Amino acid sequence: MDKKRILPLAATKVQSPFSKEQVEYLNAYQESGLMHPYTCPKPHPDEGERVLVAATAGWWCPEKGCPYKQNWAHAFMADPEFLDTLRSTTHSTEDEWHRDIWKDMTEDQRNDILREKGLM
């Protein structure tokens, strides 16, 4: 998958209800370990499970008694080609993936991110 196709997917969102195929890919993405999954923003007393689970009606938090739901996802997460591309990369961890993205940025782009995060 080329960068020209990834950028529009990263900038757009899909709304629930999700199709069965989208649910399959969203959950595969969540379980892939390739990037940080969507997690519940609510405090959990036992620091229980916070990784959201996709269903046709939207995301839900699996922690018992937690009412959190989310009705959107970034479009790339529901795209089978993107997930297959991620799986086929040589990046074994999220950190390696981010290092390669960082390496491809210009110095100005890196500095903008560092300034935004208050690190510069």
Task: Write the pLDDT tens digit of every residue in 98-116.
Answer: 555 556 667 776 666 556 6
Who's near 89: CB < 8 A, 6+ residues apart? Answer: 97
| Cα–Cα dist 45/52, whole Å | 17
Least confident of 83-87, 90-94, 105-109, 114-118: 90-94
Residue 97 and residue 86: Cα distance in Å, rounded?
9
Per domain, the residue ranges of the chain are 3-89, 94-120
Q: Are 103 and 44 a contacting pair, CB within 8 Å?
A: no
State the average pLDDT for the chain.
75
Per residue in 2-42, pLDDT (tens digit) is: 555 555 555 688 999 999 999 988 998 888 777 788 999 98
Q: Answer yes or no: are the C-beta atoms of 73 and 26 closer than 8 Å.
A: yes
Q: Interior CA angle at 30 toward 53 and 28, to 5°?
A: 95
